[in-house]
Structure 1
């Protein structure tokens, strides 16, 4: 039966940047905590014509490492603080994003083109994150190679750290970094493209 097989996982850390703090703890506002019980937002990007090679996966991970300093909270973990009863996003030098590598004998063109989508198949292409337990990751990623050719990038992103607009900017910046080999200059220059983490 067609399915997905997990090959392994690794942790991708944000590439060193002097602007990054050695550690940080960002508390959630009243409006943020409403999202805590909900599952992460799941996104699947399908690339039927991508040429599969070890270099592709290496580029995928290295570009993620380059873009993460601009979206630093994504490397963190949702963590319960027993002394205050709060949940915070904790980041440190050891924090990172879990990246799962998988392979599948599903037909990527059917997944992308069938008018009636098989949701069970799509869910297999996204990391299975236990959101009911803390600490828990903000971001997890799955990279799936298809035996018939093509790849899928599955993203599980907790809504407490980023809304849809932020996710769009993150994915767009990551994709451009992967293609060009460097972080888009717009993420450094345009204020509206740099995430704001102030919680005052």
Structure 2
């Protein structure tokens, strides 16, 4: 399937779901805290990374899938979705067996060397390389990934994440853990557990809310276009089509 975004043609080769390895312990529910709820309906965070490799693309995709599955056993909530049932006072991340991250594999006709060069790039050039994150009224995905091949040894990884679940530090820790597992897999090493400092911490009991901010945020969310508005769709903040973005150290700003 080929899609045209402005001046950039993207051919989608595959769309699949990458799940944690069989036997992974699934935390059924991870409640959001007042730190998370503040960003509940903000647009997702988009990150785009560029790489060069002499390895055939099908090998790259295979290694990325395997290592992504492996790292998800340590970041299980990323395989789930945000829900807000009528009987729940606040939203939470729910993860079930066979849940996973949607991975899109694509090809681009654009000039890889031009995209990764210094200076500004048109938003329309970069937008097709970023994964779409599904968000409906009753369910919102946590992470989506797109891997795009440019045909000259270059490829990009676009990661879109829900801001209520992943902040900058969490996102970076996830990427470092995934990269470490992938590098080890390519090198033929044994599977290892990522460094302790990159591991997520799930104990919500340590978070205290002395000012009652959670109740304030929830009241505002429910009242916005409400009453009792539990929609999980993102607020519509569109980027102007004539915008430009900057590239720094081969990652998108």
| 1:13 equivalent in structure 2 | 19
Q: Distance in 2 between matches of 1:155 and 1:50?
A: 23
| 2:105 equivalent in structure 1 | 101
| 1:86 equivalent in structure 2 | 90
Distance of aligned partners of 1:34 and 1:61 in 2 relative to their CA distance in 1, 3 Å threshold: same
Of the three residues 141, 152, 157, the one matched with 2:156 is: 152
Please tell me whether Structure 1 or Structure 2 has the larger radius of gyration of its CA atoms: 2
Q: Which runs of 5+ in 2 are unaligned?
A: 1-6, 206-253
* Runs of 4+ residues over 6 Å off in structure 1: none
Deviations 1:75-101 (A, max 9, x none): 010112111242110001121000001
C-alpha deviation, 1:52, in angstroms? 3.1
Deviations 1:42-100 (A, max 9, x none): 11110134533312111110000011111111101011211124211000112100000
Of the three residues 111, 116, 122, the one matched with 2:120 is: 116
Do the aligned residues in 1 keep the contact of 2:16 with 2:104 (CA within 8 Å)? yes
Q: What number of residue pairs does the alignment pair up?
A: 195
Q: Distance in 1 between matches of 2:48 and 2:38?
A: 25
| 2:8 equivalent in structure 1 | 2
Alignment map for 1:166-181 (pairs within 5 Å):
166-181=170-185
TM-score of the aligned structures, taking structure 2 as reference length = 0.71
| 1:199 equivalent in structure 2 | 204
Q: Which runs of 5+ in 1 are unaligned?
A: none
What is the DSSP-based 3-state SS (H/G/I as helix, E as strand, rest coil) of the residue aligned with 1:86? coil
Deviations 1:7-49 (A, max 9, x none): 220010011345x13x511111222111111121111110134
